[in-house]
Amino acid sequence: MTIGIGSDIVEHALTEILKWTSDPKLLKRIFSTEEIELYNNHKKITFIAGRFAVKEAVLKCLGTGMYDGIALTDIQVLQSNNGKPILKLDGEVKVISDKLGITMWHITITHSVNYSLAFVIAEGNNS
């Protein structure tokens, strides 16, 4: 059963203006150590922008936004051995996901020259 659907789009120019890729303190407020390591292997603005879009799309699936207790680092966008994006949740985000009965996440990320787009579907048993 589909519990939530979320999407988000990130403009690459905005990402560069915020200097996510060059400010370690800002990166650590948004991305986990594992995500930063993955980014360092790719060093592409699309990589980091796409992962930020996933985090925003996950919050939309959960029906919440950013509020006290929710940290973007609690939403980790990692990858399988073949490069497929996978989600790892911690903290308050995991608590909300579990309460909603979410057991599976589907994630897709796509890029154009100027934008990265993420689409996320949350499935589970909402009983």
Residues with a catalytic annotation lie at 60, 111
d(CA 11, CA 50): 10
What residues have CB less than 8 Å from 91, skipping those under 6 apart?
Answer: 69, 70, 71, 74
Q: CA geometry: angle at 95 spanning 106 and 7, to 5°?
A: 35
For residue 52, give the nearest of 83, 68, 70, 75 by alpha carbon. 75
d(CA 112, CA 46): 9
CA atoms within a 13 Å half-sphere pointing along the CA-CB vector of 98: 8
